[in-house]
């Protein structure tokens, strides 16, 4: 791959990182969010403090961990805490500005399913379940969702609600959804709205990969492509093996 091109994942991660500008305390999950948060830390949000779900605050990971509980998040952290302290004193206390969530299914209000596909008692696919996602959605001031978009995942009706969305004016759900096609925010009535399309993506692509009549902003813009600096950081520092970016 030469520097003039980039992958859809690199675009998605760069767009997610930019959304973190000005944020302070971020609750980090594994995978794409971890790369996005560490990119933001080195670009738009140098003041960011990372709380890893495994129990470390002010972590400065020296390598990209495979698992959220890697020893590299402990060495050099500001604090290490038990799960009771993490969820009670940090999250439920309300100290977290931004929490990241992924989803197997999401609906137009940002309700998230990460529990089962099919019926709960006799599921077609048994997914991991909540973990901390339920309380991250409820207690973080803002919730960012980063996930690849498809008609199977952006659905009219989710099979199970693991983490609450923004329906009926309730704003406990996501505030930003970043996919490989574009960036969404939420209107005051709680419904998801497409605000920008990534370069190369079209409204037809979006409509083919979403299970409801998508609401599109009147000021729809094109997401600026990943900068040279963003690409260099992702490729050389944050994910040199391309685990999440290729």
Which sequence positions are flagged as catalytic?
53
User: What are the start-end ranges of the E strands in 82-239?
Assistant: 98-101, 105-106, 112-113, 116-118, 123-126, 142-146, 176-178, 182-186, 192-197, 215-222
Contact map string, positions 143 to 182, toward another protein, x by CB under 8 A: -----------------xxxxxx-x--x-x----------
User: What are the start-end ranges of the E strands in 10-163?
Assistant: 25-28, 49-52, 56-57, 79-80, 98-101, 105-106, 112-113, 116-118, 123-126, 142-146
Binding another protein by CB under 8 A: which of 1, 21, 89, 126?
Answer: 126
Least separation in angstroms between residue 64's CB and another protein is 10
CA distance 49 to 58: 5
Which of 56/209 has CB closer to another protein?
56
Q: Which residue has the tokens 């940002």?
A: 110
Instruction: Give the up-direction half-sphere exposure of residue 55: CA atoms within 13 A in the CB hemisphere.
Output: 9
28-87 binders of another protein (CB under 8 A): 30-31, 53-56, 65-71, 74-76, 80-84, 87
Least separation in angstroms between residue 84's CB and another protein is 5
Which of 129/240 has CB closer to another protein?
129
Which of 129/200 has CB closer to another protein?
129
Which of 81/95 has CB closer to another protein?
81
- The residues binding another protein (CB under 8 A) are 30-31, 53-56, 65-71, 74-76, 80-84, 87-88, 91-92, 115, 120-135, 138-139, 160-165, 167, 170, 172
């Amino acid at each position: 791959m030469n520097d003039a091109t980039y992958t859809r994942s690199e675009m998605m991660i760069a767009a997610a990182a930019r959304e973190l500008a000005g944020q302070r305390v971020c609750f980090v999950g594994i995978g794409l969010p971890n790369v996005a948060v560490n990119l933001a830390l080195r670009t738009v949000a140098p003041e960011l403090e990372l709380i890893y779900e495994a129990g470390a605050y002010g972590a400065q990971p020296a390598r990209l961990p495979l698992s959220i509980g890697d020893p590299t998040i402990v060495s050099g952290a500001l604090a290490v805490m038990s799960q009771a302290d993490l969820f009670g004193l940090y999250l439920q206390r309300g100290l977290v500005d931004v929490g990241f969530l992924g989803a197997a299914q999401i609906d137009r209000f940002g309700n998230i399913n990460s529990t089962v596909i099919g019926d709960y008692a006799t599921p077609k696919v048994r997914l991991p379940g909540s973990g901390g996602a339920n309380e991250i959605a409820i207690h973080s001031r803002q919730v960012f969702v980063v996930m690849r978009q498809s008609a199977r995942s952006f659905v009219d009706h989710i099979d199970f609600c693991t983490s609450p969305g923004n329906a009926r004016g309730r704003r406990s759900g996501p505030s930003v959804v970043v996919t490989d096609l574009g960036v969404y925010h939420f209107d005051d009535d709680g419904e998801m709205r497409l605000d920008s399309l990534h370069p190369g993506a079209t409204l037809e692509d979006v409509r083919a990969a979403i299970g409801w009549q998508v609401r599109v902003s009147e000021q729809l813009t094109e997401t600026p492509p990943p900068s040279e600096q963003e690409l260099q950081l992702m490729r050389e520092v944050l994910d040199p093996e391309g685990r999440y970016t290729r």
